[in-house]
Amino acid sequence: MTMDQTKIAVDVFNKLADVYQDKFMDVSLYHDSLDVFCNSIKKGNPEILELACGPGNITKYLLEKRPDFKILGSDLAPNMIELAKINNPNAHFKLMDCRAIASLAKKYDGILCGFGLPYLLKEEAVQFIKDASQKLNENGILYISTMEDDNSKSGFKTGSTGDKMYQNFHQADYLTKELEENNFSIIYLDRKEYIHNQEKTTDLIIIATK
């Protein structure tokens, strides 16, 4: 996204961090896919990188399932990071753009990006998959979720609070193609219908192993 679009999204998430926490702390809709992620990482005490962690809602569930996970969570909104720290005293968090993972020094056993892709343009999402491939250890697991629709429908959307943000829709075809071209094998692909403000969206969840 452009700097302006990113700044708008960060400002909205910063402002609405508490609202977002109240609404999305319960991740039970995604337990099945998160369980696949947890169960697919066979190694003990694995290093996990979580991107766009928000208030640490997914982090919390992961640590309940796998207390041995060593999680570094990241987000671009400082207020989200503060909430994530409170919700997950046993994880580490830093302010970071998920588009910057290529600059990280180490590799991870799992990378999870729950609904970070709606804030990445198509070419950024494709680059993210390439970068994730470089940052995963052998047999590493990648989890991505996004809103699925024709990419051309991306644009500014107004939320229930009246705040506008640029949202990108992504398609399974180019995401799976990019995963396969970067030596990933897809182990899980699921879609969930999600009703929000009487508007129906389709959530797409893909888990792949390197």
Class of domain 3-209: alpha beta
- What letter does residue 181 receive in the DSSP assignment? H
* Extents of the domains making up the chain: 3-209
The predicted-structure confidence for 155-168, as pLDDT tens digits, reads as follows 988 877 778 888 99
Residue 13 has pLDDT above 70, yes or no: no
DSSP 17-59: HHHHHHHHS--GGGHHHHHHHHHH--SSS-EEEEES-TTTHHH
The predicted-structure confidence for 179-191, as pLDDT tens digits, reads as follows 999 999 999 999 9
Average pLDDT over residues 101-126: 96
pTM over 0.85, yes/no: yes
Strand-pair category, 164-167 with 155-158: antiparallel
The predicted-structure confidence for 52-105, as pLDDT tens digits, reads as follows 999 999 999 999 999 999 999 999 999 999 999 999 999 999 999 999 999 999
